[in-house]
Amino acid sequence: MKLEGRALKLTVFVRETDQWHHRPLYQEIIRRAHHAGLAGASAFRGVEGYGASNHIHTTRILSLSEDLPMMVVIVDEEDRVRSFLPQLDELVSDGLVIVEPVDVIRYGAGGVEPR
């Protein structure tokens, strides 16, 4: 798949302990994005953060947390990202979803092409 130019970046902030049918929510979001044929999705574990609860979650040794922030990032063409949003309505009950325009410089399957 080749994706270049204008696209949308979908960022979903949830908690590490959020579940969907006994599995991590972030894994379910990525599974559904893959099933929907979106160009790519990645999950990132935060080292510190807080949200609506105003409680700081951190990896610092004196306040170890098992409920760290998770961020799922998906980038694809606008219509494909927007058609995926209803699935997030079903999955995310407590979190933050951000959609923003981006410029994709290069994305493609396989190795890097020589210049």
Domain count, the chain: 1
Range of the domain at 96: 5-104
Domain assignment present for 45: yes
Torsion of CA 86, 91, 92, 93, to 10 degrees: 110
**Residue 59 sits in a domain of what CATH number?**
3.30.70.120
**pLDDT tens for each residue of 52-101:** 666 666 666 555 556 788 999 999 999 999 999 999 999 999 899 999 99
Domain assignment present for 112: no
pLDDT averaged over every residue in the chain: 86
- The helix-helix angle for 78-91 and 25-35 (nearest 10°) equals 140
Single pTM value for the model: 0.81
